[in-house]
Chain A
Amino acid sequence: MKLAQQLALAAIGVAALATVPWWGSAVLIQFGINALILATLAQSWNIIGGYTGYPSFGNSVFYGLGGYGTAIAMVQFHLPFAAGLALGAMLAVLFAFLLGLPVLRLRGHYFAIATLGLAEVMAAIVSNLEIAGRNVGLVLPLLKGDALFFELSLGLLALTTLVVAWISRSRFGFGLVAIRENEEAAAVMGINTTLYKVLAFALCSVFTALAGGIHTYWITYLDPDSAFDISLNVKMIIMAVFGGAGTVFGPVLGAFLLSAISEVLASRITSMASLFFGLVIVAAIVFMPRGFADLIRRFREVGWRYFQENVKAHRL
């Protein structure tokens, strides 16, 4: 399927999803908001992790900054929500530029480990800031309107996905993919690798921060530990990789599927849910390491042999 057709299909999907608040139950809408936020986070991670090949564990910092920007603007300065989102996004972009420049010089595991520390550092800093409510956190004004938050999250996911679709067919995106595939060769072919990496990091930070802002206003509360939660970053990566990192729709698919699976497991077998969730992920990595998007693409040609081949490739 061509990208244009896929986008048309996605537009129909978005239109259908947009009707959910009219007929869905409160539980479904709340599940939907969470799933849409997670999909946006996985899709944003896709820009730096999937396309550029830098497995960032620093995205939860962007998420937290988005949340804190929104909370500080609304609680301390009594500004409207939109201004809060803008402040959060600005903080995240600033952070992406300041830290991207040194941290993006590291590659592979070193980059992952360096970014892993960032969330802890930010949580510690924020715990000592009066304006951010120290380690008690901030309570935002209550807004009863799950429908609004649902539509906002859906809009943000659609926007993020459109940007990723543009990346996949643009000169900028080709530059990012070239960096992922071979950074030295990319530089020799005329790609300003430092600039491209930092731009990708900043772009991914914007959408992550916006998602953080929406989520924070929705649950009306945040503290340092929940804002800079590294396990959220792990979720983004698992969802993006499960769906297919470096593809336009993979991370969204991965986030929806895994959200649904974890929801079903949590309601059926509460105590063992995370164990089964872990099993699902291990099975996915063994049977479809290139993600769901690749499975869909190749299953038609190869059939069941697809799984067999992946298992064999693992043994080698």
Chain B
Amino acid sequence: MSAILEIRNLTKRFQGLVAINNVNLALEHNEILGLIGPNGSGKTTLVSLVSGTLQPSEGSLLFEGASIQHVPAFRRAHLGIGRTFQIMRPFPGLSVLDNVAVGALFGTSGGHHRLRDAQEEAHRCLQFVGLNNRAAQRADALGGPDRKRLELAKALAMRPRLLLLDEVMAGLNHVEIEEVVGIIKKVRERGISILVIEHVMKAIKHLSDRLVVLNHGEKIAEGKPDDVLNDPQVVTAYLGRKRI
């Protein structure tokens, strides 16, 4: 099995601050990789580097074996990289349906070219995330949990091969988390590889095949969820050192 995404020696500096420091990472085909780390550890920066909204300072990115670090964001979307935003960014003035239709109109390999096809696809995606009854509403009329679903539906409508999920479960209750976990598992069954950033530890532990831990922009652990979460370095990063 070859990697769908390979991150090699990736570094991102914002003036003096090193947000991502020499990170190496590989995401296998059809894998769910969980990316965790304390606040400010560089998780969202990493996703932005992969999706193309930020340019790396050093290192390289390979998508399906081809270098993409000089490819603009919109073309990465055409290649099959879809993402959601942690700070949700719907197109507020558009209806929920049309928000998703934008994903279907553009997205992977240029998307649908006819508006009607795109809207049909958007309906299917909304049904998939359970938001079909809100299709006609304006996106800015949605509440928090529904906005998370909308983000997910928009990314799915792009028909991505690699999906980057930036905290799609934050702020949801237990029942809603269960639902989203179910949706993500179903997405994987379609053959999509997924990188999940999450703070909800219990959910990500059950969801991920592997976990990677970032701290201060560096990768400090990688492996099976149970092993990683018991790694003393990881425990220290999250809880601080034990002082006796």
Contacts and interface: CB of A to CB of B under 8 A. Distances in A.
A270 interface: no
Contacts of B6: none
Interface in A153-182: 169-171, 174-175, 177-178, 180-182
A188 B53 contact: yes
Contacts of B113: 171
Interface residues of B, number: 35
A220 B30 CA distance: 69
Interface of A: 169-171, 174-175, 177-178, 180-182, 184-193, 246
Interface in B38-71: 51-53
A108 to B, nearest CB: 16
Contacts of B82: 188-189
A249 B134 CA distance: 27
A170 B113 CA distance: 9
11 contacts: A171-B112, A174-B105, A175-B102, A180-B93, A181-B91, A187-B53, A187-B74, A188-B83, A190-B78, A190-B106, A190-B158
Contacts of A171: 105-106, 112-115, 118
B51 A188 contact: yes
Given A171-B113, A174-B105, A187-B72, 7 more contacts: A171-B114, A175-B106, A177-B91, A177-B94, A188-B51, A188-B53, A190-B77
Sorted from nearest, which 8 A-B pairs have the closest CB atoms? A190-B106, A190-B77, A181-B91, A185-B89, A187-B73, A192-B74, A178-B102, A190-B107
Contacts of B53: 184, 187-188
B108 A190 contact: yes
A190 B81 CA distance: 9
B50 to A, nearest CB: 11
A76 B83 CA distance: 57
Contacts of B103: 189-190
Contact of B101 (A174, A185, A192): A174
B110 interface: yes
B91 A182 contact: yes
A188 B52 contact: yes
A187 B98 contact: no
A190 B92 contact: no
A171 B115 CA distance: 6
A234 to B, nearest CB: 24
Contacts of B101: 174
Contacts of B77: 187-190
Contact of B52 (A174, A180, A182, A187): A187
Q: Which of A169, A181, A184, A193 has the most CB of B within 10 A?
A: A181
Nearest to B85: A185
Contacts of A246: 93
Given A174-B98, A184-B53, A191 B93 contact: no
Given A174-B115, A182-B91, A188 B98 contact: no
B24 to A, nearest CB: 24
Interface string B152-194: 0010001000000000000000000000000000000000000
Contacts of B73: 187-188
B65 to A, nearest CB: 21
A159 to B, nearest CB: 22
B163 to A, nearest CB: 12
B93 A177 contact: yes
Contacts of A191: 74, 102, 106
A193 B108 CA distance: 16
A103 to B, nearest CB: 19
B34 interface: no
A181 B89 CA distance: 9
A190 B158 CA distance: 8
A258 to B, nearest CB: 24
B91 A190 contact: no
Contacts of A182: 89-92
A174 B73 CA distance: 18
B37 interface: no
B80 to A, nearest CB: 10
Nearest to A290: B93
B111 interface: yes
A7 B83 CA distance: 38
Q: Which of B51, B89, B92, B158 has the most CB of A within 10 A?
A: B89
Interface string B133-146: 00000000000000
A60 to B, nearest CB: 27
Contacts of B89: 182, 184-185
B66 to A, nearest CB: 17
Contact of A175 (B83, B105, B114): B105
Nearest to B111: A190
Contact of A193 (B74, B78, B92, B98): B74
Contacts of A180: 93
B115 A170 contact: yes
A180 B102 CA distance: 13
Contact of B74 (A170, A174, A177, A190): A190
B94 to A, nearest CB: 6
B74 A181 contact: no
Nearest to B93: A181
